Homo-oligomer: A and B are copies of this chain.
Amino acid sequence: MTKKISGLLAAPFTPMHPDGAINTSKIPAMVDLLVNNGITGIFICGSTGEGPSLTVSERKELAEAFVDAAGKRLKVFVHVGHNSLADARDLAAHAQQTGADFISATPPAYFKISSTDMLVQSLAMIASGAPELPLYYYHIPSLTGVGLDMVDFLEQAGQAIPTLAGIKYTAPFVYEFQSCMNYAGKKYDVLYGSDEMLLSALATGSKGFIGSTYNFIAPLYRELINSFNSGKLEAAQALQLTSVDIVRVINKYGGLRAQKTMMKLIGMDCGPVRLPLRPMDAQETMEMEKDLQQATFFDWASKLDAQPH
């Protein structure tokens, strides 16, 4: 049975210079911020990290910098999914060589995969690049368009991929998530990826969460989990509602681009997003800041000066 990962794992933004070039010099401070605010792992070069917008060599450079900055204080997942499976396998091999703890991958998405069998074969090819690293399938149908049944997937992939460890499950279908968590005597580790529904996942038995808002409001979620675990349900509900309010602001301002700007608002400037995403201008940022204030964002923001947790 796969060892289960628990706690909050953040999917860090990729720090960039104003011109869009990556800026690895920011990474040590970013990682310290996460560690000091109680984050237990990171998931790099995924959707939040703008992974698909990066070149293979940029992704490798980022993997090295994050693994180095983590210094074993955090578990490091490297997302290696790519439209080109040869590139994905190459990234997997590099992740293993670099000392990452896990790999994860979305499926190729230009040619849409429509059968579980081809999904498994594609992931097996990726896994072959990193035979010593556990693999988590990254299920995010809203971005990949691949929405195959995940219980069927576990059944077929479990036989074909020796390193399969579980799923990063980013979708609101908690019933399927629950089936996956309980499949084959809880054989696999299934991490939940929709921050605005953390409480739903928690109630069904989830222990580990990967998300983007854990980058900047980790204290809210730590408190939420503590409240729930100590039987303070109403407090947990109120905290989740605050998270939902903040996510509504994020969505109003365009999702990822808004989130990256929020890092600047808490004092950890990660630079702008890269094309094809649209950067935010000063006016939008100011308006968003007001909306965030109203949603009590700053009361729950991760603290630059938090003490090691």
Contacts and interface: CB of A to CB of B under 8 A. Distances in A.
19 contacts: A52-B110, A53-B110, A55-B86, A55-B87, A56-B56, A58-B86, A109-B109, A110-B143, A111-B256, A111-B277, A117-B278, A118-B276, A118-B278, A172-B175, A175-B197, A182-B241, A199-B200, A200-B201, A203-B236
Contacts of A240: 178, 204
How many copies of this chain sit in the oligomeric assembly?
4
A288 B95 CA distance: 42
Given A52-B83, A111-B53, A237 B197 contact: no
A140 B197 CA distance: 19
Contacts of A248: 151, 179
A85 B151 contact: no
B85 A274 contact: yes
Contacts of A83: 52-53, 82-83
Interface string A86-127: 110010000000000000000111110101011101100100
B276 A85 contact: yes
Given A179-B244, A203-B200, A237-B205, A85 B173 contact: no
Contacts of A55: 56, 84, 86-87, 90
Interface string A183-208: 00000000000101101111111000
B197 A108 contact: no
Contact of A52 (B108, B117, B203, B233): B108
Contacts of A87: 55
A276 B241 contact: no
Interface string A257-291: 00000000000000000111110000000000000
A90 B57 CA distance: 13
Contacts of A194: 175
A174 interface: yes
Contacts of A308: none
A54 B108 CA distance: 11
A197 B174 contact: yes
Nearest to A236: B203
Nearest to A229: B233
Contact of A276 (B54, B111, B275): B111
A114 to B, nearest CB: 10
Among A58, A122, A203: residue with most chain B CB under 10 A: A203
